[in-house]
Chain A
Amino acid sequence: MEEKKVLIVGGGIEGVRTAVKKAEAGANVTIIEKFPTLGAQRIPRDRIITPDNAFENPDLDKVRNNPKVEVMTYSDIKRVTQNDGKVNAKIKKKSIRVDNSKCNDCKACIKVCPVNMYDDFDEGFTFRTAVDYFNSTAGEYNIFKEDMPVCQRTCPVNLDIRTYVGQIADGKALNALETIRDRLPLPGSIGRVCPHPCETACNRQYLDEPISICFLKRYAADVELAQNIEPAYKTPEKKHPEKIAIIGAGPAGLTCAYDLARKGYQHITIFEALPVPGGYLWVGIPEYRLPKKLLKREVDLIAAMGVEIKYNARVGKDITMDQLRKDFDAVFIGAGCHRGLKLQCPGEDDYQGKGIVDCVTFLRKQALGELPKPNGKLIVIGGGNAAIDSARVGWRMGFDEVYILYRRTKKEMPANPWEIDAAEHEGVILQYLAAPVEILGDGNKVTGMKCIKMELGEPDASGRRRPVPMEGSEYTIDAGTIVPALSQGTDLSFLGENSDIAVNRWNTFDVDEETGMTNVPGVFAGGDVVTGADIAIRAVAGGKRAALGIDQYLRSR
């Protein structure tokens, strides 16, 4: 009979104890510990000690000398999957860069190492150096090397921020732009619209304020524009023959095309339903935040790599999904979330298109110049960035007054705080703790909305306090246009009926974590059709992941 294999996660005192127990019972044991050595002595929490017998020591010798126990320190479990009662684990054992069998503990290395950092083993009571031992009892040395700084780790596409910000500091903005473009083909656009999770993570905030990473990216892109430089994106000499179809010329699709072209694919066709590129960047982000001219230029640079963009080509109408899969070796779906969700309140259905227009349609029509002249007041309902964008667009268009209704307070509002401030600054009227009750109309068109005041009650599952209506607090706002800006969903009707591509209950695709492939080989997805409505840079990351996956898939065929 084969011996039982046991995985112990965590090499603290509990993990070591369990490992010894399991090994003595005859199992083959593997201990995975993310720190460079196994656990330390601990003071017990379940009995009263005597001073001369205070600490419980983990049985390190018993696990080290037991042939049935394998100790893997400084190791991460990258992924676990469960299958037929077996657990498969993908493990990364990181290099400690020191051969401890040769080390004589002379401490010469730690005396000269110029890098100080808090020592985790001693809870930050002392400094360790980059090369040092982790646990003074075990005395095993390791070199600690961060794989990337925190900004880069936080960025969905792992932009090398430290390098490009450094290059800007050195006065080499064009080199910085080159560094950015190594991973991101849309620096000018992303540099304007990104809500920059990197800055939220920036270590400088603990001293004063984070570095303005996003605007520096924009600066690098602007320098190129100001100097009238027209760069040419290079593609390799060696070309691949396969044909790849990409659905949607948004940030995910464009990035996927860019990365594939840089890998030598020369037959890439993007099918774009709209007459313009950029996806949500064009039809969702207003011109005053991202000038179309600039976006167009960045798209043109990608097209110049030999990527064909077919406009007004709606998959499901102008060409079927099945045809695409027949004609192309791989398909990437980056169709985005372009369906605004409904308010679900009385009167909404009666006036759909007669004064009620969801934020996605509102912003798209404005971007494409299809909106009628503004008439009366505008009410936007919601607290996200799309709500703020709709309101600021409405204000620019010339509505008499622009309202934003949000059912919680400013503190809970999901929109970027600087966007909220800008809207207030421009004169948009923000009504917090207010919700729609009924859409009012004269039979032909919207004339206003009945609203109700809310108050915050007990926290709900998300931890935010649930707004509850205050009885008898109804009031009315006159308005000619009402824009619900609640949330956005995918429109996957292009898949056709009886599609074999699996869709989950959020109407998005479940894809492989590493390749971005759907359940159907050769069909990949990324961006908002996988994540749900999310920020542009995460769509870029989805496109990058799929480009890697597509390359792997096609090269291994």
Chain B
Amino acid sequence: MCTGRVDPALVAGAFKKGLDGLLVVGCYFGDCHYISGNFQARAKMDITRKLLKHIGVNEDRLAFRQCSSGEASVFVDIIGKFVDRIHELGPIGGGGDRLKAPEIFEKISTAQAVLGGEKIRWVIGKRTPFLESGNMYGEIFTEHEFNRAIDMIIVEETEVQEILAKLREGAQSVKDLAKALAIPTERIFRYITALKRKDMVALEKVSGRSPIFQITPQEV
């Protein structure tokens, strides 16, 4: 299988199952049978690594390396170095990561939802046109600018997916959400009103002084 087909959501799924490291080894640039598969692979893994780092997983647990099928010693070297690094880091959710088990797996679930979501998949796919021929308005992005766009989606989608995941467990107030998540209450308040605008969340009832919000049936 071409490395370009390695889906970021699958990568997150693997880590969720307790994998300690994942190495994607592709062909050299220019050697791709499908012309740009390895470029796509690198872009996807870069973004996945960025997201893992954002949520608190050590980014070294995911790597993208290149070698050709004739280079046995290079391959051995790549594998050896990667395995050494993973040994150094130890099991996922241990000392090598900012987040510890079991919270780390909850966060990786969120990451999986972000990576499986339409927003990030679509924008990753737009990388080449954005950098070369321009967006819908003909504006060409610099790499820095494209990375900023990805950063924006990673940061916000992670927060929104966390909120949705909590609400899937049961209806909650903004105050309770803020207690459970490391997101400022004011921002949760705006996320909730925005999700309500999108018909993804609805007011269930007002309990005492707390408005309780629930996820709408189509989002469960």
On whether A and B touch (CB less than 8 Å), the answer reads: yes
Q: Is the CB of A111 within 8 A of B123?
A: no
Please state if B152 and A114 are interface contacts (CB–CB under 8 Å). Answer: yes
Q: How far is the CB of A354 from chain B (nearest CB, A)?
A: 58
Interface centre among A111, A115, A145, A165 (most CB of B within 10 A): A111
B107 to chain A, nearest CB (A): 20
Whether A163 contacts B142 by the Cβ 8 Å rule is yes
Give the interface SS of chain B, mostly helix, strand, loop or mixed. helix
Residues of B within 8 A of A163 (CB): 140, 142, 145
**Shortest beta-carbon distance, B32 to chain A, in Å?**
23
Known contacts A112-B118, A114-B119, A170-B143; A107/B198 CB under 8 A: yes
| Residue B185 at the chain A interface, CB threshold 8 Å | no
Q: Does B199 contact A (CB under 8 A)?
A: yes
A288 at the interface (CB under 8 A from B): no
Could you tell me the distance between the alpha carbons of A127 and B156 in the complex, rounded to whole angstroms?
12
Bound-state CA distance A127–B194 (Å) is: 5
Contact A167 B198 (CB under 8 A): no
Q: A112-B119, A114-B119, A114-B152 are in contact. Are A126 and B142 (CB under 8 A)?
A: no
Tell whether A116 pairs with B144 under 8 Å between CB atoms, given A110-B198, A126-B197, A145-B137: no
CB neighbours of A128 from chain B (8 A)? 194, 197
**Min distance, Cβ A141 to any Cβ of chain B, angstroms:** 12
Say yes or no: B142 contacts A167, CB within 8 Å. yes
Contact with A along B188-214 (1 / 0, CB 8 A): 001101101111100000000000000
Q: Which residue of A lies closest to B119 (CB)?
A: A114
CB distance from B125 to the nearest CB of A (A): 13
Bound complex: CA of A165 vs CA of B199, how far in Å? 39
Type the 1/0 row for B134-151, where 1 means its CB is closer than 8 Å to any CB of A. Answer: 000100111111000100
B153 interface contact, C-beta 8 A: yes
Q: Which residues of A contact B153 (CB under 8 A)?
A: 114
Q: Which of B137, B142, B149, B197 makes the CB contact (< 8 A) with A169? A: B142
For the complex, give the distance between the alpha carbons of A494 and B207 in Å: 81
A111 to B122, CA, bound (A): 13
A128 and B193 alpha carbons, distance in the complex (Å): 10
A166 near B: Cβ within 8 Å? Answer: yes
Q: Is A162 an interface residue (CB 8 A)?
A: yes
A111/B194 in contact, CB under 8 A: no
0/1 string, A103-135, CB within 8 A of B gives 1:
000010011111110000010011111001000
Which chain A positions have C-beta within 8 A of B119? 112-114
- Can you name the residue of chain A whose Cβ is closest to the Cβ of B148? A166
Question: Cβ of A113: which chain B residues have Cβ within 8 Å of it?
Answer: 119
- The minimal Cβ–Cβ distance linking A216 to chain B, given in whole angstroms, is 12
Chain A positions within 8 Å of B145 at CB level: 162-163, 166
A126–chain B nearest beta-carbon distance, Å:
4
Task: Please give, as numbers and ranges, the residues of chain A lying within 8 Å of B156 by CB-CB distance.
Answer: 114, 116
Q: Are A107 and B118 within 8 A (Cβ)?
A: no
Which B residues are CB-close (under 8 A) to A170?
Answer: 142-144
B143–A116 touching, CB < 8 Å: no
- In the complex, what residues of B have CB within 8 A of residue A122's CB? 193
| Minimal Cβ-Cβ distance residue in B for A132 | B197
Q: How far is the CB of A319 from chain B (nearest CB, A)?
A: 45
Contact of B190 among A110, A115, A127, A162 (CB under 8 A): A127
Q: How far is the CA of A112 from the CA of B200 in the complex (A)?
A: 12
Cross-interface CB contact of A126 among B122, B152, B194, cutoff 8 Å = B194
Find out whether the CB atom of A111 lies under 8 angstroms from the CB atom of B143. Answer: no
Distance of B123 from chain A, by nearest CB (Å)? 6
Q: Which residues of B contact A115 (CB under 8 A)?
A: 152
Within 8 A of B (CB), among A128-148: 128-129, 132, 136, 145
Q: How far is the CB of B206 from chain A (nearest CB, A)?
A: 18
Complex contact B143–A126 (CB within 8 A) = no
A166 to chain B, nearest CB (A): 3
Q: Among B122, B143, B190, which residue has its beta carbon within 8 angstroms of that of A125?
A: B190
Q: What residue in chain A is nearest B200 (Cβ atoms)?
A: A111
Closest A residue by C-beta to B117:
A112
B127, chain A: closest CB distance, angstroms: 14
Q: How far is the CA of A129 from the CA of B195 in the complex (A)?
A: 11
> A127 CB to closest chain B CB, in angstroms?
4
Evaluate contact between B190 and A126: CB separation under 8 angstroms. Answer: yes
CB-nearest residue of chain B to A125? B193
| Chain B hits for A132, CB < 8 A | 197
Using CB atoms, name the residue of chain B closest to A112.
B118
Tell me the complex Cα distance, A110–B195, Å: 10
Q: Which 8 A-B pairs have the closest CB atoms?
A: A166-B142, A126-B193, A169-B144, A127-B194, A166-B144, A114-B119, A166-B145, A170-B143
21 A-B pairs with CB atoms under 8 Å apart are: A111-B198, A112-B119, A112-B122, A114-B120, A114-B152, A116-B194, A126-B196, A126-B197, A127-B190, A127-B197, A128-B194, A128-B197, A132-B197, A163-B140, A163-B145, A166-B141, A166-B142, A166-B143, A166-B145, A167-B142, A169-B144
Given A112-B119, A114-B152, A127-B197, 9 other A-B residues pairs in contact with their CB atoms under 8 A: A107-B198, A107-B199, A115-B152, A127-B194, A162-B145, A163-B140, A166-B144, A167-B144, A169-B143
Q: Could you list which residues of chain B lie within 8 angstroms of chain A, going by C-beta atoms?
A: 118-120, 122-123, 137, 140-145, 149, 152-153, 156-157, 190-191, 193-194, 196-200
Residues of A in contact with B (beta carbons under 8 Å apart): 107, 110-116, 122, 125-129, 132, 136, 145, 162-163, 165-167, 169-170, 172
